[in-house]
Structures are given as C-alpha cells and as structure tokens.
Amino acid sequence: MLFIERDETGSIVALRRGESGSGNEPVSLLDAEVLSFLKSIDDFESFSHLLIASDAGMVRVVEDLIELLIAKKIILFTELPAEAQEKILGRKQLRARMTGQHLMVDDII
C-alpha cells in the first residue's frame, strides 16, 4: 500500500510504500493529486520504484483474469504454455497454504 506524506501547507512531499507512519495517509497510485506530484518530480528512480510497487498488484489481477477466463470456459488451462501452468499452479498452492494459516496474501505481498 502507498502512503503520502504532506508538508505544513498540505502539499505532497513524499510517497512511501509499506506501513503507515504518523501523518501519512493511504493513497492510490492513480489518485489525481499523486499523479500531479509524480509529474512534478524528475527522478527516474522514484518512478521505477513505484512501477515495481504496482507489479505485485498487477500479478494478482492477471491471475484473477486467467481464473475468470478458465471458469467461463473461454480458455482451457491446458492451452497455456507449460511454464505458465507451472507458475500459476505454484502461486495457487502457495496462496492456498497461506490462506489455510489465516494469513492475508495482500499483507505479505
């Protein structure tokens, strides 16, 4: 999860990933104010970190999309390349184990 840090005037001065600190507030990467802040800085490394931070969420979206397509019989699991099948099954088994232990996948990833 992303959090913003504001200065005394209420302007965003930093984006942070992880735990909420004092004065930090949760925010979406697609928030208009966040996008405006990102356009105002010229730090390639910051953009790279934000892109990497959004990757885990996108992976879950793709997994859910694949499961939906399979459930609706639009694609067959066996039509996917063998490597993709292995990765999907591995992540599915990992999530099942984590869920069985009452852990939230999103809290860990």
Residues 61 and 92 in one domain: yes
- State how far the Cα of 93 lies from the Cα of 76, in Å rounded to an integer: 19
- Domain range spanning residue 63? 56-109
- State how far the Cα of 86 lies from the Cα of 78, in Å rounded to an integer: 11
Residues 66 and 108 in one domain: yes
Total number of domains in the chain = 2
DSSP state of 26: E
- The pLDDT, as a whole number, for residue 108 is 46
pLDDT tens figures, 36-87: 887 777 666 666 767 777 787 788 889 999 999 999 999 999 999 999 999 9
**Which of 10-24, 63-77, 94-108 ranks highest by mean pLDDT?**
63-77
- State how far the Cα of 10 lies from the Cα of 95, in Å rounded to an integer: 39
Burial of 54: CB neighbours in 10 Å, binned 0-12, 13-18, 19+: middle
Residues 60 and 101 in one domain: yes
The helix (H) or strand (E) run that includes residue 3 is strand 2-6
- The pLDDT, as a whole number, for residue 109 is 46
Residues 61 and 32 in one domain: no
**pTM here?**
0.51
- Asked whether residue 46 is domain-assigned, the answer is no
Residues 34 and 64 in one domain: no
